């Protein structure tokens, strides 16, 4: 039964919801203030009605707490849903987005969120009104200090407590965080101000990035409705930010041939990795997750069973492939068979040189001691390599697009292409590679026309 207390001109109505796991009674409460012109008898009657209605709401689970802020609920959503159900890399990305979202909306209670809150946030993101954390970029005139320290890059990474690819990014004059710049400077015994240039600026986010914020907010608030924290999702009353479909960048057949020629003078480990992506169409994480037991040299197949990913704060970790269809067996040509065998012989010598230091876990692509390679290292190397050529600035993932585009152009059916790429539905393949399908369709029409024209002359 509801408990009623008079407090000044108002009444506090309290209802018990039982006890929690620690035996503490759970209480919900509301405040009711009678209108000024209400008679004592009417006030008493209405108070009783309010108490009965409130108790019914609480008992039926229709009463929603008014004290939870967006920041508080998003933290609970990450801990009780995202970290359990979603991939670690996805969770890391969501946490990055929430840092920006909560800086604007975190203090607002869930039941007070209005469409204008989201509209204002999206406008700030587009116009670059959100200040980013300070970043640091190595000074060109100071790069030599890393070499002059007398330490190998591997040792600097260990001393600094950072991944080797993070150090490579810093040396390549990419921006890094304050933590990374401080760690590198301490590792070589140099003042940070001498080694790095500090930068602080506002950044306008792309339409796609704004849309990513919108989708995350929508997902969180949809769950808030399901968990009975709010009655409806206020972001549903806001038009979704528009974002153009991103272009798919790839190499044509002549450019792909030129890439293969240029790779001949590259280190064998990176040459083999890039050729595998180009010929097989693997995702970067799938490539790094390959083990020698996944290669069937006799039948000429590669089985994709796992992926290897890196998340700051957690490091490298092994996980299942993106989805069930991503677990697949792909055939490869005799040329690639020979390339893999040549690389296997080279790795055997590396293993012999490392001796007892070799981490024998059967990884195909490794660091100097057999440990799995960071996928970011592949990207860092290839970005540097492609800049040294006259080829278009295609990314590692762009090589996967190149593989699919060339297969479609060669007349391979969409179902086969989708299977090789690990797409669960052919619609995914057709949506991404509509450009290649259109081109192949035009080529088919021209070929048919040539056949019919020849038949007329007979």
Coil vs helix vs strand at 105: helix
Tokens linked to 324 = 């069930």
Q: What is the pLDDT of residues 224-273, one digit of tens each?
A: 988 878 888 999 999 988 877 777 788 988 999 999 999 999 999 999 99
Q: Which CATH class is domain 70-130+205-237?
A: mainly alpha
Q: What is the pLDDT of residues 265-295, one digit of tens each?
A: 999 999 999 999 999 999 999 999 999 999 9
The closest of 101, 115, 30 to 70, measured between CA atoms, is 101
Count of alpha carbons within 13 angstroms of residue 58, beta-carbon side: 21
> How far apart (Å, rounded) are the C-alpha atoms in residues 196 and 185?
8
CATH architecture of the domain with residue range 253-434? Orthogonal Bundle (1.10)
Among the four given CATH numbers 3.30.465.10, 2.60.40.10, 2.60.40.420, 1.10.260.40, the one describing domain 135-199: 1.10.260.40
pLDDT at 266: 94
Residue spans in the chain of domains classed CATH 1.10.443.10: 253-434
At residue 152, does pLDDT exceed 90?
A: no
Q: Which helix (H) or strand (E) holds 422?
A: none
DSSP designation for 323? S
> How far apart (Å, rounded) are the C-alpha atoms in residues 196 and 19?
57
> How far apart (Å, rounded) are the C-alpha atoms in residues 224 and 216?
12
Task: Determine contact, residues 207/42, Cβ cutoff 8 Å.
Answer: no
Task: Determine contact, residues 302/329, Cβ cutoff 8 Å.
Answer: yes
Residue spans in the chain of domains classed CATH 1.10.150: 70-130+205-237
pLDDT at 378: 93
> How far apart (Å, rounded) are the C-alpha atoms in residues 128 and 130?
5
Residue spans in the chain of domains classed CATH 1.10.260.40: 135-199
Q: What is the pLDDT of residues 328-353, one digit of tens each?
A: 999 999 999 999 999 999 999 999 99
Calculate ∠ Cα 100-180-206, nearest 5°. 35
Q: What are phi and psi of 289, to 5 degrees?
A: -90, 0
Residue 423 CB: number of other CB atoms within 10 A? Answer: 23
Across the strands, what pairs with 317?
309
> How far apart (Å, rounded) are the C-alpha atoms in residues 119 and 99?
18
């Amino acid at each position: 039964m509801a408990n009623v207390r008079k407090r000044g001109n108002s009444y506090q109505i309290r209802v018990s919801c039982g006890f929690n796991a620690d035996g503490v009674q759970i209480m919900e409460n509301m405040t009711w203030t009678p209108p000024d012109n209400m008679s004592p008898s009417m006030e008493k009657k209405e108070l009783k009605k309010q108490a009965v209605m409130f108790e019914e709401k609480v008992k039926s689970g229709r009463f929603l707490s008014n004290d939870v802020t967006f920041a508080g609920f998003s933290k609970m959503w990450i801990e009780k849903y995202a970290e359990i159900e979603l991939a670690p890399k996805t969770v890391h990305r969501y946490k990055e987005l929430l840092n920006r979202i909560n800086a604007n909306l975190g203090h607002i209670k869930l039941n007070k969120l209005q469409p204008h809150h989201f509209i204002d946030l999206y406008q700030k993101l587009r116009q670059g009104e959100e200040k980013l954390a300070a970043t640091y970029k190595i000074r060109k005139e100071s790069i030599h200090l890393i070499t002059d320290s007398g330490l190998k890059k591997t040792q600097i990474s260990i001393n600094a407590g950072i991944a080797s690819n993070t150090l490579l990014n810093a040396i390549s004059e990419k921006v890094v965080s304050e933590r990374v710049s401080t760690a590198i400077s301490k590792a070589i015994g140099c003042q940070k101000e001498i080694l790095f240039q500090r930068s602080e600026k506002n950044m306008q986010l792309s339409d796609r990035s704004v849309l990513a914020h919108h989708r995350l907010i929508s997902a969180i608030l949809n769950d808030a409705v399901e968990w009975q924290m709010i009655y409806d999702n206020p972001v549903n009353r806001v038009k979704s930010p528009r974002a153009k479909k991103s272009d798919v960048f790839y190499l044509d057949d002549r450019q792909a041939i030129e890439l293969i020629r240029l790779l001949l003078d590259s280190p064998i480990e990176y040459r083999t990795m890039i050729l595998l992506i180009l010929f097989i169409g693997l995702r970067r994480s799938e490539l790094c997750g390959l083990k020698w037991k996944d290669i069937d040299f006799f039948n000429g197949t590669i089985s994709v069973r796992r992926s290897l990913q890196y998340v700051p704060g957690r490091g490298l970790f092994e996980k299942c492939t993106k989805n069930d269809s991503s677990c697949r067996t792909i055939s490869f040509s005799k040329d690639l068979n020979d390339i893999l065998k040549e690389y296997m012989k080279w790795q055997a010598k590396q293993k012999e040189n490392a001796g007892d230091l070799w981490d024998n876990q059967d990884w195909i692509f490794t660091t100097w001691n057999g440990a799995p390679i960071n996928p970011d290292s592949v990207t860092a190397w290839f970005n540097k390599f492609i800049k040294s050529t006259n080829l278009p600035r295609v990314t590692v993932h762009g090589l996967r697009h190149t593989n699919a585009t060339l297969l479609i152009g060669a007349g391979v059916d969409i179902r086969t292409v989708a299977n090789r790429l690990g797409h669960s539905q052919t619609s995914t393949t057709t949506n991404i590679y509509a450009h290649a399908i259109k081109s192949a369709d035009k080529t088919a029409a021209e070929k048919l026309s040539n056949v019919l024209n020849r038949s007329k002359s007979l």
